[in-house]
Structure 1
C-alpha cells in the first residue's frame, strides 16, 4: 500500500513537473498566427488638388443638376470657394475624345481611357459616353 502510494506520488510530481512542457498550445497558436499574417486591402482615394482659380480657357457644363468646369480635358467641380479636380460624370457624352485618349480592350469590348475615366463609342448616336470602369 505504501509502495503504491509512493508511485502515485511520484507520478503526480512527474506530471506536475512536465506540465509546463506539455502546454504547447498557446505557444503554437502564437507561432501559427505569426506565420499567417492577415493582409487587409484598403482602397485609398487620391485627394484631388484644390485650386483657387480655373484655367483661363475653361468651359462651364451643367449636368445632372451640377456645375462642372472643363479645361484641357480636366474636369473640376466647385467646392468651398475653390475647385476640385474630379472625374467626368458617368453618362456624360462627348463628340470628340479628350487629348491623350488610349484605346483599351476589356473582355472583347473597346473602350477609350483618359486618366482614370473610360469612354465607350455609341455608334448609332455618334458620340462617346463616359462609363464606369469596366471589370476584366
Structure 2
C-alpha cells in the first residue's frame, strides 16, 4: 500500500512539472532591455553594540592592564569606542558585592551570585573574587 502512494505522488509531481500552469511565461520577466532595472538605495547605518559611555553610577575596576566598569552587577569593557557588556574576568577582586547578590551554597562552600557571575569571599584579605561557576 505504501508503494502505491509513492507512485501516485511521483505521477502527480511529473504531471505538475509538465503542466503549463507551473512553467514561467516570458511576460513576467523583471528585466526589460529598453528600460534599466530600478534600484532603490536604502541607507542602513550600522551601529556597534554597546553604549557610548559607561553607565551612570559605575565603579571602575582595573585588571590585567585593562579597565572594566561595574554598574548594577553588570560588567562593561571599552571596545571600539563603545562600552560593551562582558562577563567579569575570573580572578578579579572587588571590595563590595553588586547589588542584588544572593548566597549560594555548593558542596558546603558559600558563594555569592550576581548577574550570572559567582564571587567568593576572602576574609583575611577583605575582598570578593570572581570565580568560575561551581560544579554541583
Q: Per the shorter chain, which TM-score range? A: 0.5 to 0.7
Q: Distance in 1 between matches of 2:69 and 2:123?
A: 26
- 1:123 aligns with 123
How far did residue 57 of structure 1 move? 2.5
How far did residue 133 of structure 1 move? 0.7
How far did residue 103 of structure 1 move? 0.5
Between 1:62-71 and 1:105-114, the stretch displaced more is 62-71
Q: Distance in 2 between matches of 1:69 and 1:134?
A: 24
Question: Structure 1 regions of 5+ residues with no counterpart?
Answer: 1-48
Q: Distance in 2 between matches of 1:86 and 1:122?
A: 24
- 1:81 aligns with 81
1:8-56: per-residue Cα shift (whole Å, max 9, x none)?
xxxxxxxxxxxxxxxxxxxxxxxxxxxxxxxxxxxxxxxxx52222223
Q: Distance in 1 between matches of 2:127 and 2:61?
A: 17
Q: Distance in 2 between matches of 1:123 and 1:134?
A: 19
Cα separation, partners in 2 of 1:79 and 1:70, compared to 1, 3 Å: same
Where is the helix percentage greater, Structure 1 or Structure 2?
1
Tell me the TM-score normalized by structure 2. Answer: 0.58
Aligned residues: 88
Note the aligned Cα RMSD (angstroms). Answer: 1.6
Question: Structure 2 regions of 5+ residues with no counterpart?
Answer: 1-48
Tell me the TM-score normalized by structure 1. Answer: 0.58
The 8 Å contact of residues 51 and 82 in structure 2, kept in 1 or not, is answered as yes
Following TM superposition, where does structure 1 have runs of at least 4 consecutive aligned residues deviating by more than 4 angstroms?
Answer: none
